[in-house]
Amino acid sequence: MTRFLRTTALCSVTFAVLLLGACGKSEPAAPASAPTAPAPAATAMAPPPPSTVAAPASTSTSASMAPAGSVPAPPAAQAVAPLTVAKITLGSEVNAEHRVTRATARFAPNDKAIYASVATEGSSEGATLNAKWSYLEGTGQLVSSISQSIATDGPAITTFKVQNPDLWPVGKYKVEISLDGKSVAKQDFEISKS
């Protein structure tokens, strides 16, 4: 009976070690191109490729003591959470980690670029994020649609950028984020004078 428990514990520990060793494997993300539409006021846009970086992992440690003579339980296998969009942050500048440095929903007509940092949680070996930028005034107009394939095994930031070499038309805009073709988040913003 004791031998059976030892063998079972040894097999469980070996499986857990192999499972944890495989967690860190991921394929490099390859940006996928999507067609872009002209910007309002007949201004052509050339969006640069979006970028994704892994968010710093937070760690916590805890220790527990098992009673003397007991067999330690093998580590529990962690369930893999599916990829989800946690937050969209808009701004006119990003830092080296691709995070918006100052969040805002109001931009000036002469801001050359607008960034959307999309925070994701969970894991995916291959998912597609899309940012669809729209001008909402009048009949509305698609400004740009940018897609990117990502692979991550934890929190990550994917940054999308839309730019206009001329002045942005004043009015209301929206960026809509889709995950694998399904709309998951929206953020309204405005271009206004002062």
Mean pLDDT of the chain: 73
Question: What is the pTM assigned to this prediction?
Answer: 0.60
Residues recorded for the chain: 194
* Measured distance CA(100)–CA(89) in Å, rounded: 7
Report whether pLDDT(13) > 80: no
Q: Tell me the C-alpha to C-alpha distance, in Å, between residue 148 and each of 17, 136, 159, 174.
A: 32, 24, 10, 19
pLDDT on residue 147: 95
- Is the alpha carbon torsion for 181, 186, 187, 188 positive or negative? positive
Which residue ranges form the domains of the chain, and what is each CATH number? 26-55+81-191 (2.60.40.10)
- Is the alpha carbon torsion for 32, 33, 39, 45 positive or negative? positive
What token pair was written down for 23? Answer: 């967690």
Higher pLDDT, 153 or 44: 153
Percent of the chain with pLDDT over 90: 48
Which neighbouring-strand residues pair with 131?
146, 177
pLDDT on residue 69: 55
- Beta carbons of 151 and 26 less than 8 angstroms apart: yes
Q: How does pLDDT run across 119-145, given as a tens digit for each residue?
A: 999 998 899 999 999 999 988 899 999
Q: How many CB atoms lie within 10 A of CB 45?
A: 17
Q: How does pLDDT run across 184-193, given as a tens digit for each residue?
A: 999 999 999 8
Report whether pLDDT(118) > 90: yes
H or E segment and range at residue 10: helix 2-23
Mean pLDDT, rounded, for 76-100: 85
Residue 179: strand, helix, or coil: strand
What token pair was written down for 104? Answer: 């805002």
* Measured distance CA(165)–CA(183) in Å, rounded: 29
First to last CA, the chain: 78
Report whether pLDDT(97) > 80: yes
